[in-house]
Amino acid sequence: MSALGGPGPGHPLGVRRLRIAVLVKTNAGGMWLLPQVEELRHRGHEVTVVLPRGAGRLTDELEHRGFEVLASPFDFTMGRYVPIGLLRLRALLRRLRPDVVQYHLIASAYAVRLATLGLPVRRVHMVAGPAYLESRLVRSVERLMWRLDDVVICGCRYASARYGELGCPPQRRPVAVYGVDTDAFSPDATRPDQRAKLRAELGIDQGAFLAVMVSYVYPPKRLVHSGRGVKGHDVLLAAWRTFHRRHPDAHLLLVGGGWTAAGESYRRQLGERFGVADDPAVTWVESVPDVRPCYAAADVSVSPSLCDSPGAAVEAGSMGVPSIVSAAGGLPEAVTERSGWVVPPADPTALVDALETAYRGWVNGTLTLRGRLARQHVLASFDDLRAAAEVADIVEDVAARRR
């Protein structure tokens, strides 16, 4: 059964064909959207995706797969042209005449809610990451605005709980994760020599204990976390100084550049602050064509965010790599006590202790077992096909209700 009481995964029989418009405020990221729209199309629904103008990785992939992709007439920026942009978005959606509008990311939610006021459509808001709920201002707005959503699909239990605090009843905030392709992200999906090959390419010693952090660098926001970067790069880099002094055979691999120019500026500030360029024990790669070899080369993954979705910890677990995560957002849901470690957020000392435990497991050979258990946990809870089916169930259930 779905979270809303409908039939289980993959139930195309007896469900009328729907027109579904999907709107996302990115044409570069958001690749997690693909299995969801594929599942909706597989069930016979007509899916149109509305994205920001211009070329982007997501746009290219959707068009390659044969989806109709339209440019959003609203550019998701604040200014005097917001009313005009919203009216144009409203006109586009009226022309599409969707039964359901599904939207991801909070800026998309605000745009769709306002643009569709009074229109006979069902609104499905899917929460990719819960960080915006850390803002007191945003929470005060969402306390009212979520009521315009027919359902808020929460990508983690943490987000569902936060919407519960805002008065949203359980039946309108089901949990359906953004999954991972457990076939593509698998220990068997990379070549056996990939671990040694990547280490050689990056100049990392083959015998080193390697910790990896995979994340874009987001600039600090004034309204949340006292202006600190939400992904916690500063926390990890501070902890690494202490940990590496104790273990010279350890190496840190950071994968991800700055998200927007402000994010890149913050990344450079972090590099200067922690002397990354002059530290042979730290390698920072801005981008890679395929992140899986980075996990394959690593012994442990670290996600020290101040608030986040399960994200990279799920990818790492699917690759058979255990994770250290902060007790923030949906991150603790990505690990079990036997497959990883949970530490308090913004606590470099606790992060050092967890790295020490992982290092001891690496030395005595027990870290491999944690990796296998991490893979089992992801298979059971985060497989993308199962997750996409749960989302499709909810969309169909919402469309079938009478207003």
Please determine, for residue 342, whether its predicted confidence score (pLDDT) is greater than 80. Answer: yes
- What pLDDT digit, counting tens, does each position of 183-197 carry? 999 999 888 888 999
Other CB atoms within a 10 A radius of the CB of residue 268 amount to: 14
Q: How confident is the model at residue 402 (pLDDT cuts 50, 70, 90)?
A: low
Residue 14: is its pLDDT beyond 90? no
> How far is residue 346's CA from residue 361's CA, in Å, rounded to a whole number?
24
The number of CA neighbours under 13 Å toward the Cβ of 207 is 4
pLDDT value at residue 7: 42
The one-letter amino acid at 17:
R
**Mind listing the domains of the chain with CATH numbers?**
19-178+383-400 (3.40.50.2000), 194-381 (3.40.50.2000)
pLDDT band at 309 (very low <50, low <70, confident <90, very high): confident
Question: Considering the entire predicted model, what is its pTM?
Answer: 0.89
The pLDDT score that the predictor gives to residue 5 is: 37
Using the predicted structure, report yes or no on whether residue 388 has a pLDDT greater than 60.
Answer: yes
Q: Residue 105: pLDDT band by 50, 70, 90 thresholds?
A: very high
Task: Tell me the pLDDT of the chain averaged across its residues.
Answer: 93
d(CA 158, CA 127): 11
| Residue 9: predicted pLDDT | 44
pLDDT for the residue 13: 47
Q: What is the mean pLDDT of residues 160-171?
A: 97
Mean pLDDT of 278-305: 95
Q: Tell me what percent of the residues of the chain surpass a pLDDT of 90.
A: 84
